[in-house]
Structure 1
């Protein structure tokens, strides 16, 4: 189990509605971990990338990290038993022996890789206890090869191919005169070395004679049987055992469960399965992939020691901003530059939190500390993240280490900071292909303070007129979103990078009073324009939280 976990990738992931720092820091930190560790690390994203980040990734010719919207434990994270599927034509006895040999209580029945049904110990026990139908071999179209295998017999007369089409199972214990009254066409007669019984069966058009104890069969009986189309099987078992065993040659397709099979897909989440598992007391459940191909069996026992997804969080440490299913994942590290949030971990973790303008600056420092060379593409990503988060050093969150790191990284990446930042910001503020909903949620974060739930989004632009045109679109959307969501208040920052100012839009009960307390200014009906305010993290959220707590 531990070895299996070590072979699985650790996901390095930022917050929901990721910005450039969240994406680029995840990619650069995953690259760093892969250079210093034997385990695989993979960058992931918890939401759609915005236009600014798209520009950065395209500029440095980097693929967008794969989306992962839920890190809850899935069946693919559990040790699935690779039990090979069996064909539906094998006998009950053979299936039972396979169960004993492999210690599996349930076997999957497959055809060309697809699940046909399942057969369990309980199904076989029920078959053995409830079979009173003497015509079971004909009803189930039992192949003669199954009978030979079950009885460890030899076909003395007749073809091994074919199946039982009609008739019932009889014991040849009576005298021939009496047997003539109950042997019918197609019947299977189990008997010993009794010439008269053999002859009677042939004359009555029996389908097969099973001769026990490997007793010899006369040439006359063989000839007559061959002429009449009656098979003769020789078995080493005595009559009682042969009679007990022969019904076990029935193919499992007759008793297997084919309908209402409880199966799961590899991508199913364990949390979604729990209700089903409490209602159905099977030991094992078949697992299929999204194409319906059989993959293996999931046992209840394996759920006890299931492997949680392992994560490294970057650029956030609050549960409300984390990817869905975070409670079921195992957090190994947190690299961040925001306030300490409310995430709980299963065990002690490496937590690096520094009051800098960007997570990418911390990642850059870690490259230096570990003596790992930064390639030009990763340098470009980290530089772009710093320029984005610090608004090209205009944000009050920007520290000297941020500026120094950006300059060094720009040199490695071969970019001009001024030119690259302007193109990046213009790409990010291009809203022509965005709906109002996409604009609002592209950089949106959730917070909780004093039992008040609120969300805050932000968009930065070099074009003040473009920002002004957004206000009449955003306010109605925010009003509706506040009514239909669990948020008590919603805020949105229209930040003008050139003017270094922000118009803060707000909706929700008491939102206006909170804003006025937070910034000590009289607000309009749903907005407040503030000079020298550009940072959500340092200049807006802390003030709002303080005002809510008063």
Structure 2
């Protein structure tokens, strides 16, 4: 999308990443820079976030799974397609006029029928020695007239030459009749007697060379015998050389195994396919196989990277796929510095606050932009979610101040909103262990150790216990199907401000025991007072691994 920037949070998005993207997109658009800022999401919404968006009437962002460059991001050639009935000569002229070597052949329905390249035309001229190929190709007489710059004297120009061979009437008059079979196309000089002999011999088409008109007797004979009569100023040699170029391109175009692409194909994938073939140009089709345009290797050099702003993360492992191929313009975050790298300097705002939404609300204030009621509602919800209604140690006075100010604008009670959100997020009915696990899951790396941490929060200890068995089973499948060394799940009791930490992986138990100076557990760890993954769980683990 030209002149657009995607604002997007991390994979497995939580309320903060979604609402921060929505709020920051509104702010950027309100500043009127002429750029269209669009909030996106890198995964499915959890129940808490869906409740928030529904409550405040805010549209759910579209999902984007990969920000890598696609064919839609390049200036592909919108080359007009041609009809399969046009002559080889006409196709050649179009190639020269448009400075291309490939033409897409399009049906009346708009679907791709084939492609013809200049090599196909060369083949028809250099390697075809069959004098009946004109009829087998079902050549239209109008093509012959056009190719020879001729004039139709008698007959239907829209009819087809479908039977017989191409014959040059060069023999003496006595033997001429034996050279011509019924339905042949005969090329003859401007000699009336010869022309009459050819018509009487049963030819279906007579091309008279070196003439613009014929004797009335010849014209009458052609009408009587239903012969298509064409005159041309070209001499016999030129006509014999050109007439094969009147054949329709469908006779020589490639119809099978055509390599084509779609607009949503990724450039890296397209480039790999192009390496395997010698073609220079390839058709682009839509999902219904309708022709859109042409792409070449050279055009891939002109691709425009997608422009993105990242919120609530700065780790490559948490970013949407294809981030290396995108142009990152800004990062707005409240986490530790991660592994993401950029080609050039960018705006990177990182503050030790409890929520990215807090930072976004501060930017509204700094820019003097009034916050609408619905945007205030989602930003307030995000702060309450990330700070567990001010219970998390990540919460700062600034977070609480901004949340309460946003609640006034949105016309909501902080306690009621937080309780309703947490209850919605704690409703595990009709949800699989996989869905619950991935609603808030992140991957971290320290040296050679790579581990994943999911957090499931609830206002009810009983709800957490009801899903513990299924979650533990699913953790094993995550570990076995990945390159992770360990997988952890935080079952966080919001009201009691404690977490039961489940773990799988060869060294997972020792990692936690070392990090929290506790005896090695066999089943799980009870971490009283621990409710924040970012501030209370990850730092001790990282320090332990680095030691």
Shared fold (TM-score greater than 0.5)? Answer: yes
Q: Which residue number in structure 2 is paired with residue 291 of structure 1?
A: 288
Equivalent-residue separation in structure 2 for 1:367 and 1:180 (angstroms):
94
Q: How does 1:60-79 map to 2 (within 5 A)?
A: 60-79=56-75
1:175–1:197 CA contact under 8 A, matched in 2: no
Describe the superposition over 1:479-520 as per-residue Cα deviations: whole angstroms up to 9, x where unpaired. Answer: 232122211101111111111111111111111111011111
Q: Which residue number in structure 2 is paired with residue 13 of structure 1?
A: 8
Query: Does 2:22 match 1:27?
Result: yes
1:71–1:326 CA contact under 8 A, matched in 2: yes
Equivalent-residue separation in structure 2 for 1:367 and 1:18 (angstroms):
23
Q: How does 1:206-285 map to 2 (within 5 A)?
A: 206-285=203-282
Q: Secondary structure at the match of 1:331?
A: strand
Q: Secondary structure at the match of 1:487?
A: coil
Describe the superposition over 1:117-166 as per-residue Cα deviations: whole angstroms up to 9, x where unpaired. Answer: 01111111111111211112101000111111111111112222210011
The alpha carbon displacement at 1:465 in A equals 1.4
The alpha carbon displacement at 1:446 in A equals 0.4
1:14–1:45 CA contact under 8 A, matched in 2: yes
Describe the superposition over 1:312-334 as per-residue Cα deviations: whole angstroms up to 9, x where unpaired. Answer: 10000001101111111111111
Gaps of 5+ in 1: none
Equivalent-residue separation in structure 2 for 1:457 and 1:509 (angstroms):
18
Could you tell which deviates more after superposition, 390-399 or 519-528?
Answer: 519-528
Q: Which residue number in structure 2 is paired with residue 549 of structure 1?
A: 546
The alpha carbon displacement at 1:523 in A equals 4.4
| CA RMSD of superposed structures (Å) | 1.2
Equivalent-residue separation in structure 2 for 1:472 and 1:131 (angstroms):
74
Query: Does 2:445 match 1:419?
Result: no
Q: Secondary structure at the match of 2:174?
A: helix
Q: Which residue number in structure 2 is paired with residue 339 of structure 1?
A: 336
Equivalent-residue separation in structure 1 for 2:388 and 2:351 (angstroms):
18
Equivalent-residue separation in structure 1 for 2:244 and 2:103 (angstroms):
20
Equivalent-residue separation in structure 2 for 1:525 and 1:412 (angstroms):
49
Query: Does 2:521 match 1:502?
Result: no
Q: Which residue number in structure 1 is paired with residue 87 of structure 2?
A: 91
Equivalent-residue separation in structure 2 for 1:372 and 1:96 (angstroms):
60
1:193–1:215 CA contact under 8 A, matched in 2: no
The alpha carbon displacement at 1:273 in A equals 2.4
Equivalent-residue separation in structure 1 for 2:400 and 2:210 (angstroms):
94
The alpha carbon displacement at 1:215 in A equals 4.5
The alpha carbon displacement at 1:470 in A equals 2.5
Query: Does 2:381 match 1:371?
Result: no
Q: How does 1:48-197 map to 2 (within 5 A)?
A: 48-111=44-107, 112-197=109-194
The alpha carbon displacement at 1:180 in A equals 1.8
Could you tell which deviates more after superposition, 451-460 or 124-133?
Answer: 124-133
State the TM-score, normalized to the length of structure 1.
0.97
State the TM-score, normalized to the length of structure 2.
0.98
Q: Which residue number in structure 1 is paired with residue 451 of structure 2?
A: 454
1:266–1:290 CA contact under 8 A, matched in 2: no
Query: Does 2:308 match 1:311?
Result: yes
